[in-house]
């Protein structure tokens, strides 16, 4: 199987020749520097360790970048403004984080089709986008977003739908350009619970998110949801959305692989398995190999599975431990 065939099979709920391997989204600068020093490039590392997926990340600033957002103080003003044109092909070339070089743009990622790599397009969900509206000094406005949900629920709902329409149009532009999978990013969880009540999620997050997912369904393209923290109480809604994969199912936040499989069904893909906080930076090579073996024993026999980091690798992760991870994962991957 090619990487593309392997990943599409998993997201259809079918068994491929082996477990697909992935990192997640992008590369922090310290890790990238270590990889470049030893392998010459991230691409060479990915080739050496049989990584299957390339991700392009859309811009996270609907209204023109962090400088423009910094000049806007409240929801009322955002509701009056028109976002940048999501239907223009130019949207695919806008970098997510400018000069930081953490991610590929969607346009850059699409070039990897020449290597038979499936391209995930990282699309921002409505709650996460709302945080970026109030970002200051590089820190997302989580508190402002939560306060608005409680104090201004109707305005927040209108904002969510406005952002959903923009994000859905961005996704459609990427799909028309050839993207293979929508990776919908919206962090709804924290340690052992969600950031807001399940009822609030159903009332204002679910219907807006549905607009984004429906665009992918229209193009017969699978959606994989990334949502950090413990979102167990929202899994029935995630299933109702028609999501084909979930990342990262964060054990360290209180989620259970078994419970997630039970609620979502055995044909929904789990992507993850490598905790980038509680495992990768603190384990040695022997310990991390044992951790990979544990995760494979839980996820490989029980349903579709893409092995990946729970988030981007932190700069303190030793390169030799990352190498040990993917060497052992590839050894265990064949069905």
pLDDT (mean) for 230-240: 98
**What pLDDT was estimated at residue 7?**
98
Q: Do strands 193-194 and 189-190 pair parallel, antiparallel, or not at all (unpaired)?
A: antiparallel
Model confidence band, residue 139 (pLDDT cutoffs 50, 70, 90)? confident
Q: What percent of the chain is modeled with pLDDT above 70?
A: 100
Of the chain, the percentage scoring pLDDT greater than 90 comes to 92
Domains of the chain: 3-332 (3.20.20.210)
Quote the pLDDT of residue 97.
82
pLDDT at 302 over 90: yes
Q: According to the model, what pLDDT value does residue 198 have?
A: 97
Assess contact for 60 and 124: CB atoms under 8 A. Answer: yes
Please say if the pLDDT value at position 137 is more than 80: no
Of the pLDDT bands very low, low, confident and very high (cuts 50, 70, 90), residue 100 is confident
Give the per-residue pLDDT at 292.
Answer: 98
Alpha helix (H) residue ranges in the chain: 3-11, 29-39, 42-48, 66-70, 75-80, 106-110, 126-133, 142-151, 153-176, 198-200, 206-218, 235-241, 257-264, 285-299, 319-332
pLDDT tens, 53-75? 999 999 999 998 888 887 887 89
pLDDT of residue 213: 98
Mean pLDDT over residues 93-111, rounded?
Answer: 90
Confidence of residue 197 (pLDDT cuts 50, 70, 90): very high
Average pLDDT of the residues in 97-114:
90
pLDDT of residue 99 exceeding 80, the answer is no
Average pLDDT of the chain?
96
Q: What is the pLDDT of residue 66?
A: 81
pLDDT band at 135 (very low <50, low <70, confident <90, very high): confident
What pLDDT is attached to residue 72? Answer: 86
Q: pLDDT tens digit string along 18-32?
A: 999 999 999 999 999
pLDDT given at position 254: 96
69 or 88: which carries more pLDDT confidence? 88
pLDDT value of position 138: 76
CA distance 245 to 226: 9
What pLDDT score does 249 carry?
A: 97
Q: pLDDT (tens digit, 9 = 90+) per residue, 315-329?
A: 999 999 999 999 999
What one-character DSSP code corresponds to residue 301?
Answer: T
- Mean pLDDT for the stretch of residues 294-311: 97
Q: How is residue 166 written in tokens?
A: 């923009």
What is the Cα–Cα distance from 60 to 78, expressed in whole angstroms?
Answer: 15
Task: Categorize the per-residue pLDDT at 281 as very low, low, confident or very high, splitting at 50, 70 and 90.
Answer: very high
């Amino acid at each position: 199987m090619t990487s593309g065939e392997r990943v599409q099979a998993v997201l259809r709920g079918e068994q491929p020749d082996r477990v697909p391997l992935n990192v997640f989204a992008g590369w922090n600068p310290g890790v990238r520097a270590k990889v470049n020093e030893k392998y010459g490039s991230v691409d060479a590392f990915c080739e050496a360790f049989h990584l299957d997926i390339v991700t392009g990340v859309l811009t996270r600033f609907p209204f023109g970048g962090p400088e423009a957002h910094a000049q806007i103080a409240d929801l009322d003003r955002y509701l009056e403004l028109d976002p940048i044109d999501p239907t223009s092909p130019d949207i695919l070339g806008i970098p997510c984080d400018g000069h930081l070089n953490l991610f590929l743009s969607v346009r850059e990622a699409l070039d990897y089709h020449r290597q038979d790599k499936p391209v995930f397009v990282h699309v921002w969900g409505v709650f996460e986008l709302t945080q970026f509206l109030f970002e200051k000094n590089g820190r997302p406005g989580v508190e402002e977003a939560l306060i608005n949900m409680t104090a201004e629920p109707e305005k927040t709902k209108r904002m969510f739908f406005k952002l959903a329409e923009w994000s859905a149009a961005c996704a459609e532009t990427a799909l028309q350009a050839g993207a293979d999978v929508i990776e919908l990013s919206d962090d709804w969880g924290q340690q052992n619970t969600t950031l807001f009540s399940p009822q609030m999620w159903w009332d204002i997050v679910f219907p807006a998110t549905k607009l984004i997912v429906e665009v992918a369904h229209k193009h017969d393209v699978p959606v994989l949801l990334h949502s950090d923290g413990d979102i167990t109480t929202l899994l029935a809604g995630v299933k109702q959305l028609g999501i084909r994969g979930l990342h990262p199912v964060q054990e360290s936040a209180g989620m259970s692989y078994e419970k997630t499989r039970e609620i979502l069904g055995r044909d929904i893909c789990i992507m993850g398995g490598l905790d980038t906080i509680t495992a990768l930076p603190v384990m040695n090579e022997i310990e991390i190999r044992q951790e990979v073996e544990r995760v494979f024993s839980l996820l490989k026999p029980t349903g579709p599975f893409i092995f990946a980091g729970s988030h981007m690798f932190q700069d303190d992760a030793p390169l030799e431990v990352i190498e040990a991870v993917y060497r052992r994962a590839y050894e265990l991957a064949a069905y």
